[in-house]
C-alpha cells in the first residue's frame, strides 16, 4: 500500500519525482555504501520511490521484493497490537501518505488509538491560521498528553511484548510507558 497512490494525481507524481531525486542525491553522497549494498545502476536510473526502494532500500533490509519490504514495514499489521495510548495524526490532503493508506478499520477497533484526521495539512506541516504562524499538531499533541497525564495510564506501567518492527525496531525504547507517534504510512 505504501506506493499505490503516490502516482495517482499530478501533485503526487511531482512529490514522487522530487523525493526520488532527493534519495538519489543522498545515495551519491554515500556512493561506496550504496554501491556495495544496493544496485547502483538501478539507483541512478530510478524514476520513482518504488524504483529506488527496489534497487536500494529493500536490498539494504534484505527483503526479497519491494512489495515484501512495504508489507513488512507498514504499521498496519501492528495497529491491532497497540496496548498503550497512541495519537495518530493524518491530513486527508497529504500527497505522500494518502487517505487510502490510513488503516481506518484497524484504528477504529483499537481503544488505545486516537486517529485524528484533518481536511488540510499536507504531509508534515499542519499549519494553522491565515498567517500559518503556528502548527496545529503541536496543540493537538499537548492536549492529548494533558489528558493522558490526568488519567490512570501515566501511573500504570505495562509489560510490552516482544514485537518486531521493521528496520526501526532497534530504535524503539520498549520500556517507555507512553508511545507518542505522528502516524504516517
At 125-176, the pLDDT tens digits run: 777 778 888 888 888 899 999 998 888 766 666 665 555 444 444 434 333 3
CB 108 within 8 A of CB 80: no
Residue from 98, 91, 86 nearest 179 by CA: 86
- The predicted pLDDT at position 107 comes to 95
At 49-95, the pLDDT tens digits run: 999 999 999 999 999 999 999 888 888 899 999 999 999 999 898 88
Higher-pLDDT residue of 161, 25: 25
**Residue 89, C-alpha cell as written in the block:** 495524526
Q: Where are any strands of DSSP class E within the chain?
A: 86-91, 113-118, 127-128, 134-135
- The predicted pLDDT at position 117 comes to 92
CB 52 within 8 A of CB 24: yes
Query: What are the domain boundaries of the chain?
Result: 10-73, 76-171
pTM score above 0.85? no
- The predicted pLDDT at position 124 comes to 77
CA dihedral of 67, 53, 88, 158, whole degrees rounded to 10: 80
Beta-carbon contacts of residue 16 (< 8 Å; ≥ 6 apart): 6, 7, 48, 49
Average pLDDT on 98-122 reads: 91
Amino acid at each position: 500500500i505504501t506506493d499505490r497512490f503516490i502516482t495517482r494525481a499530478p501533485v503526487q507524481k511531482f512529490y514522487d519525482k522530487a523525493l526520488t531525486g532527493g534519495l538519489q542525491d543522498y545515495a551519491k553522497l554515500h556512493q561506496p555504501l550504496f554501491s556495495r549494498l544496493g544496485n547502483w545502476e538501478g539507483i541512478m536510473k530510478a524514476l520513482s520511490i518504488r524504483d529506488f526502494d527496489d534497487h536500494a532500500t529493500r536490498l539494504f533490509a534484505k527483503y526479497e521484493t519491494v512489495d515484501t519490504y512495504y508489507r513488512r514495514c507498514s504499521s498496519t499489521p501492528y495497529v491491532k497490537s497497540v496496548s498503550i495510548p497512541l495519537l495518530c495524526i493524518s491530513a486527508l490532503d497529504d500527497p505522500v501518505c494518502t487517505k487510502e493508506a490510513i488503516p481506518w478499520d484497524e484504528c477504529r477497533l483499537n481503544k488505545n488509538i486516537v486517529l485524528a484526521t484533518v481536511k488540510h495539512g499536507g504531509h508534515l506541516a499542519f499549519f494553522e491560521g491565515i498567517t500559518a504562524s503556528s502548527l496545529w499538531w503541536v496543540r493537538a499533541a499537548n492536549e492529548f498528553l494533558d489528558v493522558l497525564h490526568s488519567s490512570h495510564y501515566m501511573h500504570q506501567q505495562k509489560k510490552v511484548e516482544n514485537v518486531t518492527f521493521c528496520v526501526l525496531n532497534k530504535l524503539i525504547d520498549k520500556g517507555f510507558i507512553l508511545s507518542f507517534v505522528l502516524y504516517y504510512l
